Amino acid sequence: MARGNRITDTRVIDPGGSFARLPSDSRARVRCEPIPAAARAFRSASLAFLLCLSSAHGWAQQNDQAQMRSLDEQVQAIKSDVLGISQELSRLEEKLLYPSGTQVAIFVTLAKGDSMRLDAVRLQIDGQLVAHYIYSAKDLEHLRKGGVQRIFVGNVSTGDHQIEVLVDGKLEGGADFSRTDRFSFRKEVKPKLVGLTLAGPDSGSAPIALGEW
């Protein structure tokens, strides 16, 4: 059985350029030196620094989120204030434009349980067109649930007046429905509130009924 050649003469070159002989049967030994205390301290300090960075990043995120929530709350408060101011200005404008002595407001409602699909309402006072409103599906839904629409507000002199109401719609079966009625009302020296109750011919109620509110 063949044996591998054994190296019996080994030389190495030292840094000075001379040769040094190694024993033929020597084997390189690896020595494990313990980690110096300075290295352990450096590693511990590095780990602590990384933990501090992670904690600081988390704190910064929480602080940013808190600031964003605070900013959102301030924006909502400003919006609420602006809305309140706008409503107050609208009321003041209405009082200036429509003094109580000459103000007339007309409201529209649907008869309870009526199935007519209201499409449009047109109003004339003393032969002058004052309102023409086309109803959306959302408007009709609100009216069917008992909602009230203020279709007109304006100034009318004291005395007797004529109001003409034109209603367009569709019946439950899809047939077109149109009705025009004329009414008289008297304006006193105080606000006048007029209610128009609308209904289709199948409801058993008057198609257009005028009442004072």
pLDDT of residue 167: 96
Q: How far is CA 86 from CA 79, 89, 138, 150, in A?
A: 10, 5, 24, 19
**193-207 per-position pLDDT tens digit:** 999 999 988 777 899
Q: Are 93 and 180 in contact (CB under 8 A)?
A: no
* DSSP 8-state assignment for residue 203: S
Mean pLDDT of 160-164: 96
Alpha-carbon distance of 161 to 151, in angstroms, equals: 18
* Backbone torsion region of residue 115, taken as left when φ is above 0, otherwise alpha when ψ lies between -120 and 50, otherwise beta: alpha
What is the reported pLDDT for 119?
96
pLDDT at 26 over 90: no
Of the candidate CATH numbers 2.60.40, 2.40.50, 3.30.1300, 1.25.40, the domain formed by 103-212 belongs to 2.60.40
- What's the chain's Rg over C-alpha atoms? 46
Extract the tokens encoding 120.
């449009």
Report the C-alpha gap between 149 and 2 in whole angstroms.
113
Domain boundaries, the chain: 46-97, 103-212
Lowest mean pLDDT segment, chosen from 33-42, 46-55, 124-133, 148-157? 33-42
Cβ burial of 131 (10 Å; 0-12, 13-18, 19+) is: middle
For residue 74, the model assigns a pLDDT of 80
